[in-house]
Structure 1
Amino acid sequence: MTMQQTFADLGVGKPMIDVLAAGGIVDPFPIQLATLPDTLAGRDALGRGKTGSGKTLAFCIPLVHRLAHTRKTAQPRGLILAPTRELASQIGAVLEPLAAAHNLKVTTIYGGVPQSRQVAALRSGVDIVVACPGRLEDLMKQRVVRLDSIEVTVLDEADHMADLGFLPAVTRILTATPSGGHRMLFSATLDNDVDKLVKRFLRDPVTHSVDSADSPVPAMTHHVFHVAGVEAKRELVHLLASGTGRRLLFMRTKHQARKLAKQLTESGVPSVDLHGNLSQPARDRNLAAFTTGKARVLVATDIAARGVHVDSVELVVHVDPPADYKTYLHRSGRTARAGSAGNVVTVALPEQRRELQAMMRKANIDVRPQQVAADSPPVQELVGELAPYQAPAPQAERSAQSTDSRAHRSQQGRSATARNRKRVGAGRVPVAVTADRAGHKGASHRRTGGHQRAN
């Protein structure tokens, strides 16, 4: 039997390997196995992988590797562009410990907050900037930051950049970086103008695809529940939200998300909302409540369809079916991450069934709809199988447990297949959460393994 390559085999240096191991990351994911030999060698790369595939480390590692071996300058030498502020924050959280291992400084730049701290960080000197295009362009126009020293540029979720209309700004930013720099672009799809970016800014790039661009996550079980009307839907949604595990509910409108979170909380299910009407501090507070377990349910609009990572989200409920299959896949990808199992439920009223059926075909998901009420056997079976939520241990206990948990995490990943049948989650205690704006064929096709916090 062929042994899987390690990070050391791929050419990752010991300082970063030590950081990864300290976080329980031992075995590379497929996207990392595929891309790292080329990107560590400095070759331009186009990475295609579905949500939860581990692409954040796939570009952070070669970025830090390159800058650790080149001379510091007064201006940033590394740039990562992300479509939203929450995703930028998530990337920064993954990047910072890797960079610190080589004495590299990182700062994150995005709108929605005062720019004073970001300006101060840039003026004090940073090596890597993780930025959203809008705020970065503002600071470039103010001459707070220049990009003429950039050696490595990463564009993450390029397809989402296109969806949000950011590609003109991205084009201007990339034009401001040296033409001979190392560039990496990661995108789930290459439609619209993304391919134009590849052709213009990447030099003879190597392309690596992990699963098809629209493939669902194999550890995910999909359910489509047809309900007779609005009242039956309300009862079903409240039941699905009322378990002890962590659940994520998606709505189409901000008003409905806020209203449902309030109703659930008043009924005894601690819930918070996440949508575009919230300020950044309010988003941070609500996400923190969700990740620590103070709130068991997050009710969100599509602002959370990409980039949200919370350990052990066992259930995603499409309370309102999404507008298109890509959004369905991204929403659903908040569960069954990094090899863990998860369930996805879509609730459909009679008038939504035809459109939903067409969308599921496009998403390549083969699941038989079931007509249900809250007390129907399929619903009760699902509710009974969901894993109990394990609240975070006190700090002293977590410290005492950390050595053992790290030593055995690989074994936990290998034994996850057996636990999936009972839906007992193998995720570790949640320590961080971030979000951004904004799946497979049924229950029989599942897989487990791996223990990274993937993006």
Structure 2
Amino acid sequence: MFAQLNLNPAIVKAIKVCGYTQPTPIQERSIPEILSGKDIVASAQTGTGKTAAFVLPTLHHLSQSPSHRKARVLILTPTRELANQITTATSTYGKFLRFNVVSLVGGTSYHQQFRNLSRPVDIIVATPGRLIDHITNHRLDLSAIEVLILDEADRMLDMGFIDDIKIIAKKTSTNRQTLLFSATVDNRVTRVINQLLKNPVWINVSDKELAPTQIKQEAYIVDNMQHKTKLLRHFLTNQQIFKAIIFASTKVNVDNLAKDLYKLGLSTAALHGDLKQNIRNKTIERLRQGKIQFLVATDVAARGLDIDDITHVINYDLPKFSEDYIHRIGRTGRAGKTGTAISFVLPIEATHLKRIERYLGQPLSFTTVSGLEPTRQLTMKQDKWKSKKKKTRPHDKNNHHQKRKRHANSKRSHST
């Protein structure tokens, strides 16, 4: 129970209003350590409740002492959408507390952000690039930051924000508490940890605990793109889908697919990085309000979306990276609800699918739709060592003869 985590009663009250009763594993392990003032490194995927894992104890920290004009908490995150989600979550969980939160992201007015910063601020939620802009223009003083939070640190490094993060960290108090959340902890993330954190507590929720057991995962073999489209139309028109996010691999695919579904009379919208920020914000809000039933999106645009009533996720195209599969299906089955994840797999994607299954630690369950059964099977590429052993290419034979000839000439030259 959240009441047992020693959080401010006003925060516990807000959690109850949201309908949450039991903390997730990442919340249960992280919150006590954060409340004790320790730096932490938490390895957790999206969809595991990690936002609340750092927002709740941070709000408690703020509630223990009076506010002042300078910001005391800084949350860095890779994308605008995720920053907006965190800002909303912070306001929701702190609805019975008195504090001010400001979001600093690209795609919104500098002037409005500057006006917001001219007032007393307790929490700043920002993307590194926009925050650097404000620092460069001397609009921001981070010297009073008591808690620095790096959310989705691995993705921020993927996007090239490493130097920005270091510059920002140097602007904060040396006595700050630093919390780092990351889906993966590779050598790059480890270097950041060594540079910015002090004797951190490591929290690694096991794969079994992270696995979205409340999500039913299904896979369907598709012969070609036409077959894939027919299956998608079947699911969207014949199954009881309340709300769904449909993932496509490129922005062009997203636009084309959204147009096709719209022409079928389906309530559909597209979401990708080329759309203006205000359009993206409106699209997400329309989905949240139920004005849109189907959202076609890219991985980056949909990352961090937190909408409780998404019943289905459909991988129209498989994700390029295995970890993105977890991020995708984590958009459904949230807040203890059940969900369904459907993946379409072309025969040539068999090897890629196996990589995803190895990452998951379990195979996906394949099934078929009556009348839309595939005529082809998945084809696994042969391992390289097997192909070399079974068959030698003609040019390889020539190379082999050339090596023998050079070796013989070498022996003759040594004997003279």
TM value normalised by structure 2: 0.84
Q: Contact 1:247–1:296 (CA<8 Å) still a contact in 2?
A: yes
Q: Secondary structure at the match of 2:118?
A: helix
- Work out whether 1:294 is the aligned partner of 2:295: no
Q: Contact 1:232–1:373 (CA<8 Å) still a contact in 2?
A: no
Report the Cα distance in structure 2 between the residues aligned to 1:238 and 1:98, rounded to whole angstroms: 39
Q: Contact 2:231–2:372 (CA<8 Å) still a contact in 1?
A: no
Q: 1:48 aligns with which of 43, 50, 67?
A: 43
Letter in 1 for 2:44: G
Alignment of 1:150-165 (within 5 A): 150-165=145-160
Deviation at 1:213, TM superposition (A): 9.3
Report the Cα distance in structure 2 between the residues aligned to 1:56 and 1:359, rounded to whole angstroms: 25
Q: Secondary structure at the match of 1:73?
A: coil
- Work out whether 1:228 is the aligned partner of 2:223: yes
**Structure number with higher relative contact order (C-alpha < 8 Å, ≥ 6 residues apart):** 1
Q: Contact 2:74–2:147 (CA<8 Å) still a contact in 1?
A: yes
Letter in 2 for 1:9: Q
1:371-416 alpha-carbon deviations (Å, 9 max, x no partner): x4663489xxxxxxxxxxxxxxxxxxxxxxxxxxxxxxxxxxxxxx
Deviation at 1:267, TM superposition (A): 0.7
Q: Secondary structure at the match of 1:249?
A: strand
Residues 52, 358 of structure 1: CA spacing in aligned structure 2 closer, same or farther, 3 A cutoff? Answer: closer
Q: 1:93 aligns with which of 88, 91, 94?
A: 88
Letter in 2 for 1:89: N
Question: In the alignment, what sits opposite 2:108?
Answer: 113
Q: Which stretches in structure 2 are left out of the alignment for 5+ residues? A: 375-416
Q: Contact 2:14–2:95 (CA<8 Å) still a contact in 1?
A: no
Q: 2:77 aligns with which of 79, 82, 105?
A: 82
- Work out whether 1:177 is the aligned partner of 2:172: yes
Report the Cα distance in structure 2 between the residues aligned to 1:358 and 1:62, rounded to whole angstroms: 37
Q: Secondary structure at the match of 1:224?
A: strand
Q: Secondary structure at the match of 1:287?
A: helix
Q: Contact 1:236–1:374 (CA<8 Å) still a contact in 2?
A: no
Q: Contact 1:150–1:178 (CA<8 Å) still a contact in 2?
A: yes
Question: In the alignment, what sits opposite 2:163?
Answer: 168
Report the Cα distance in structure 1 between the residues aligned to 2:183 and 2:61, rounded to whole angstroms: 25
Alignment of 1:140-289 (within 5 A): 140-212=135-207, 215-242=210-237, 243=239, 244-289=241-286
Letter in 2 for 1:202: L
Structure 1 segments, 4+ long, off by >6 Å, are: none
- Work out whether 1:65 is the aligned partner of 2:60: yes
1:85-110 alpha-carbon deviations (Å, 9 max, x no partner): 11011111111244453321111110
Report the Cα distance in structure 2 between the residues aligned to 1:90 and 1:222, rounded to whole angstroms: 26
Q: Which stretches in structure 1 are left out of the alignment for 5+ residues? A: 1-5, 379-455
Q: Contact 2:76–2:150 (CA<8 Å) still a contact in 1?
A: yes
Q: Secondary structure at the match of 1:313?
A: coil
Report the Cα distance in structure 2 between the residues aligned to 1:377 and 1:227, rounded to whole angstroms: 8
1:34-70 alpha-carbon deviations (Å, 9 max, x no partner): 1222211211112222221111111112212222223
Q: Contact 1:188–1:213 (CA<8 Å) still a contact in 2?
A: no
Residues 42, 329 of structure 1: CA spacing in aligned structure 2 closer, same or farther, 3 A cutoff? Answer: same
Report the Cα distance in structure 2 between the residues aligned to 1:127 and 1:292, rounded to whole angstroms: 29
Deviation at 1:272, TM superposition (A): 0.6
Report the Cα distance in structure 2 between the residues aligned to 1:11 and 1:368, rounded to whole angstroms: 42
Aligned pair count reads 372
Higher helix proportion (structure 1 or 2): 2
Q: Secondary structure at the match of 1:308?
A: coil
Report the Cα distance in structure 2 between the residues aligned to 1:337 and 1:211, rounded to whole angstroms: 19
Q: Contact 2:308–2:335 (CA<8 Å) still a contact in 1?
A: no
1:106-127 alpha-carbon deviations (Å, 9 max, x no partner): 1111011221111101011211
Question: In the alignment, what sits opposite 1:127?
Answer: 122
Question: Percent sequence identity over matched residues?
Answer: 33
RMSD of aligned residue pairs (Cα, Å): 2.0
Alignment of 1:321-336 (within 5 A): 321-336=318-333
